[in-house]
Amino acid sequence: MAWTTSDIPDQSGRVAVVTGANGGLGLEVARQLARKGGHVVMAARDQAKGESARASIRGELPGASLELVPLDLASLASVRQAAAAILAGHPRVDILANNAGVMAIPERRTEDGFEMQLAVNHLGHFALTAQLLPALLQSGDARVVSVTSTGRHAGRPVDPDNPHLSGRYDPWRAYGQSKLASLHFALELDRRFRAAAVPARSMVVHPGFTNTDLQARSVRETGGGRSQRFFHDAVRRFGMTPGQGALPLLRAATDPGAVGGALYTPRWVNWGPPVRRPMFARTRSSDAMTTLWEVSERETGIGLDIATRER
């Protein structure tokens, strides 16, 4: 039987943090977790859109337990402020959905000097996870879910000498690198959870070919780039709905049988119900994962040592 939202267990008493919850996949994840009784912290950069998203959920679910927190993943200062606000209100976090992202945009640097796609898709989430770790370790079944893409297959592991692709930038190269980093982060985080013997799991998901604002934003930011227009037109014609695309993330976040260190995707790669799928050996390089961790700690200035936090 295909896994659906009806399979989500009761989430009463559980706290979930969802990045990019102001639209697309994040909004649908927030909606379904709230429907099942969870308290959802909707972390979003655009607070006006966040308010609209919260209102849309409450219009359908008047009793939904929702909270809006400002979060700009392109700013380490914003990540620190968001984490502090979440920790102040929630000593325990059960689900962290590292969902927000950007795709194939022109070269830009963040206020911290990071390449924008690596910053938003990976480094900001690395920093957020590190700072929420004390609350995650208070849960008896914490889930950290990161979002990758088939674009990871065209990506290369982060080069420690040039993680921001200075002089080598290409929109799709940077996107592939960031989405491979998301996968490597999820796998290495789960390995460290197991090594520390803590009750937490880290998974990675691919939402499939889903029609959200991701493709439209890449068209807007490139001024209508040819490849960006192609994917935007294709996803509008053939893509799944955000509700369908959110299912792999929801399954990883809530299914009691979900496996740490696993990849959840639509059954037919880009379409279909959510299933666990194998990963190519080349995407599970332990050397690449170790390097990514070292680069992430160096760039963000934030250590993520699970054993130390557990003590």
Determine the 3-state secondary structure of 5 from DSSP: helix
Query: Rounded distance, CA 146 to CA 263, Å?
Result: 10
The type of residue at 60 is E
* Number of residues assigned to the chain: 311
Look up 169 and say whether it is catalytic. no
* 44 DSSP β-pair partners: 70
Read off the DSSP letter of residue 199: S
Please return the burial class of 303, using the count of CB atoms within 10 Å of its CB with bins 0-12, 13-18 and 19+. Answer: exposed
Q: CA angle, corner 23, sides to 61 and 116, nearest 5? A: 150
Sign of CA dihedral 43, 47, 50, 56: positive
Q: Which of 3, 114, 126, 175 is catalytic?
A: 175
Q: Active-site residue numbers?
A: 175
